[in-house]
């Protein structure tokens, strides 16, 4: 992470959705591990901003901004003097977004459009948008909104108004273990209340990553970004039923069996597996040590002249799909989960 620290030294950086799991982890890293000139936490959660401001009151370079990203005028003011924007704000709960599609689209699409406009107006150097595996072949409103947001982030690189040439790129996340709304805190709550752990299916698979890995993905993407790329971190594929068994055994110190779990079936808009890349992207996807990089489509290649830089990297031959990838064994899943719990608790 030394390259990241050097890149961010004496820079001003703003994080949207900074009170969420990923956003707050980024804020923590920026304040404790880098020498940023200024770190701005932007969120519409008044209570959490208050606690965050109190937590980091000894950091003279830390500022909070109570702003809704759907309010362009307020976003524009907040971005004055900012070098880099990490855009983490979003509505992410699949069932809630299914029953409130207008709110989901307003935040995830219109809010992202506001970030783009304000970043260009304020000559921001780089913007990284945090997307989701659900943006690939979406089956729900949340995923579809993230896909549209990815598209407008990529297109922003060639907008005629972008005279300063603000760089816009995206990252695609798998499931961040322990984040708000993720399955780990749900399982923990069920264990604490002596309830059966609810599992969608014994065959469901997901890509999973730690908060620490999500921070590395976003900040490494910020360093590497030239415009229009989608950065995907390599992460393990895990069977959700196996994961549930490991959670039960770690937190109860008891051996699990089928009676500890309740199979509930797919929720509205949910998929049995997740994809972080799809077939159409293979021809423009490359692999480096810890990441896959999906370049913009051919038309935008020509506009940005980015293709040559990536020729030295290895081309990808298959899509990145949690059902196709080898899933972690029970033992490796348990070890993976224990390490994450140790890092976060």
Helix (H, G, I), strand (E, B) or coil at 61: coil
Contacts of 94 (CB under 8 A, 6+ apart): 134, 140, 142, 143, 267, 268, 269, 270
Catalytic-residue membership of 134:
yes
User: 3-state class of 52 per DSSP?
Assistant: helix
Order the strands of the 175-176 sheet from edge to edge. Answer: 175-176, 205-209, 237-239
Euclidean distance between the first and the last CA atom of the chain, given in angstroms as a whole number: 22
Enumerate residues 6+ apart whose C-beta is below 8 A from 300.
Answer: 154, 155, 157, 158, 228
What is the Cα–Cα distance from 186 to 275, expressed in whole angstroms? 23
β-pairing verdict for 291-294 and 230-233: antiparallel
Q: Which helix (H) or strand (E) holds 241?
A: helix 240-252
Do the beta carbons of residue 43 and residue 16 sit within 8 Å? yes
Of residues 3, 43, 47, 37, the one with CA closest to residue 20: 43
Give the start-end residues of each E strand in the chain.
Answer: 12-16, 38-43, 62-66, 84-87, 126-132, 167-173, 175-176, 197-199, 205-209, 230-233, 237-239, 261-263, 285-287, 291-294, 314-315
Pair of tokens at residue 11: 């820079």
Q: Three-class SS of residue 191?
A: helix
Residue 48, judged by CB atoms within 10 A of its CB (0-12, 13-18, 19+), counts as middle
Catalytic residue among 11, 92, 126, 134: 134
Which residues are tagged catalytic? 134
């Amino acid at each position: 992470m030394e390259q990241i620290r050097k890149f961010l030294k004496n820079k001003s950086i703003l994080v949207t959705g900074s009170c969420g799991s990923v956003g707050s982890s980024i804020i923590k890293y920026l304040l404790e591990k880098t020498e940023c000139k200024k770190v701005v936490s932007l969120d519409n959660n008044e209570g959490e901003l208050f606690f965050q401001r109190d937590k980091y009151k000894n950091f003279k370079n830390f500022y909070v901004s109570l702003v809704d990203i759907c309010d362009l005028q307020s976003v524009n003011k907040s971005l004055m003097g900012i070098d880099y924007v990490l855009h983490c704000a979003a509505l992410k709960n699949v069932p809630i977004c299914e029953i409130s599609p207008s709110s989901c689209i307003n935040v995830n699409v219109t809010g992202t459009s506001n970030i783009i406009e304000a970043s260009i107006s304020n000559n921001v150097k780089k913007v990284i948008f945090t997307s989701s595996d659900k943006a690939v072949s979406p089956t729900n409103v949340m995923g579809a909104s993230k896909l549209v947001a990815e598209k407008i982030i990529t297109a922003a690189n060639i907008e005629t108004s972008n005279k300063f040439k603000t760089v816009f790129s995206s990252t695609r996340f798998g499931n961040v273990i322990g984040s708000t709304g993720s399955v780990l805190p749900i399982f923990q709550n069920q264990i604490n209340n002596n309830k059966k752990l609810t599992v969608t299916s014994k065959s469901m698979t997901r890509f999973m990553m730690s908060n620490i890995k999500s921070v590395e993905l976003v900040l490494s993407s910020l360093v590497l970004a030239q415009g229009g790329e989608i950065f995907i971190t390599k992460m393990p594929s895990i069977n959700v039923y196996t994961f549930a068994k490991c959670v039960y055994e770690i937190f109860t110190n008891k051996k699990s069996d089928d009676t500890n779990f309740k199979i509930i079936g797919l929720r509205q808009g949910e998929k049995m597996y997740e994809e972080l890349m799809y077939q159409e992207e293979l021809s423009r996807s490359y692999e480096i040590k810890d990441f896959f990089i999906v370049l913009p489509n051919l038309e935008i290649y020509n506009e940005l002249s980015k293709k040559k830089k990536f020729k030295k990297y290895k081309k990808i031959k298959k899509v990145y799909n949690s059902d196709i990838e080898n899933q972690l064994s029970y033992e490796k899943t348990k070890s993976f989960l224990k390490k994450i719990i140790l890092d976060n608790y």
